[in-house]
Amino acid sequence: MKSRRIFLQKAGLSALALNISTFNPISAMPNFLDAKKMDEKPLRVAIMGLGSYGTRVAEAIQETKRTKLVGVISGTPSKVEAWKTKYGIPAKNCYNYENFDAIKDNPDIDAVYVITPNGLHKDQVIRVAKAGKHAICEKPMAVNAADGQAMIDACKAAGVHLLIGYRMHFEANTLEVIKMRKAGEFGTPLFFQGLSGFIIGDPSQWRLQKSLSGGGAMMDIGIYSINGARYMLGEDPIWVTAQETKNNPEKFKEGIDETIQFQMGFPSGAVASCLSTYSMNNLDRFFLNGTKGWAEMQPSTGYGPIKGKTNQGPLDKPHTTHQAVQMDEMAAIIFDGKKPEVPVNGEEGVKDMKIIDAIFKAVKTGEKVTLKLA
């Protein structure tokens, strides 16, 4: 507070030195706001799961204004030691998967970001909630909607937030398209296409193990087209149909989808046609078509920069590190009650899980599956 007073005193003296006719009080406000931000408490985060994406989030946190990496949870002692040194994490804030319930008694940690295999999310988030800490969970939030709902219920019972790592909900060009759609600049949205896929490598990795992943491409890359259809069209689907193609059953065993084409229908009459695959590269494209215009994004969900155009011209919002923006926005949700343009709460995550459950059912039965997401 002392530094803030000195700052304001200096700002006041500078203002008096100006000719009163040219002084604009509004011009001083950004500096005042910056000083205010310096006094804001950071969201103190422990990362659970120190793999490649956990590392990406840790690096992004270094760019944030309102979050701080203060703890780690991992089953690999060598990773814990490396992170302690790199990020200056005290030993008392380091845990493994067996003892992390002890965070209940650690006042230095506000939230835990769970970045582990999908099949572990439910139990780990529930334990975080019971420890009285806010839970941030990477997507998909669980392996099915029932597990996702159990996570929501546990966090509500504990009085803590449950937020899902939907980084695209804060990405500038994505938000510009949503803004244009809401303003009616595309007319009535009629059609969405989402293509999400890449060729997956190591066949022994956890993503190709049903118990850990809950499925194949759909539980990894496919969720982007599901979620993207919802925020691009601005409504939730009421039915799905789906077809699976499996050309490599040795690599993609029972319960691990290789490629799924799926279709969704919406209350307005709009439709979506999407592809989720682990067997094709160069698939990261969204296309929205309306009665008055269109939007195309390619790449649409990668780590950036996101590129695209509409019938009015290119999308040219500046690129920022997605995970850094996400973490600062989540701090604002937790501390300030901020309402994001597109939700990132547990309920948003469960909607996607209900759709994935329905897609798997449609693949199995060959029938159109009705959805009730409300």
What is the identity of the amino acid at 161?
Answer: H
- Return the ∠ at Cα 309 (arms to 348 and 198), rounded to 5°: 60
Residue 265 CA to residue 187 CA, distance in Å, equals: 18
* DSSP conformation class of 284: E
Radius of gyration of the chain (CA): 23
**Rounded CA gap, 251 and 201, in Å?**
10
Out of 122, 133, 139, 354, which one is annotated catalytic? Answer: 139
Structure tokens at 122: 């439910």
139 is catalytic: yes
Three-state SS for 38?
helix
What amino acid is encoded at 70 in this protein?
A: V
C-alpha neighbours within 13 Å on the C-beta side of residue 210 = 8
Please say if 278 is a catalytic residue: no
Task: Say which residues have a Cβ less than 8 Å from residue 193's Cβ, sequence separation at least 6.
Answer: 272, 273, 274, 285, 286, 287
Active-site annotation holder among 224, 231, 278, 351 = 224
CB distance 114 to 161 below 8 Å: no
- Catalytic residue list: 139, 224
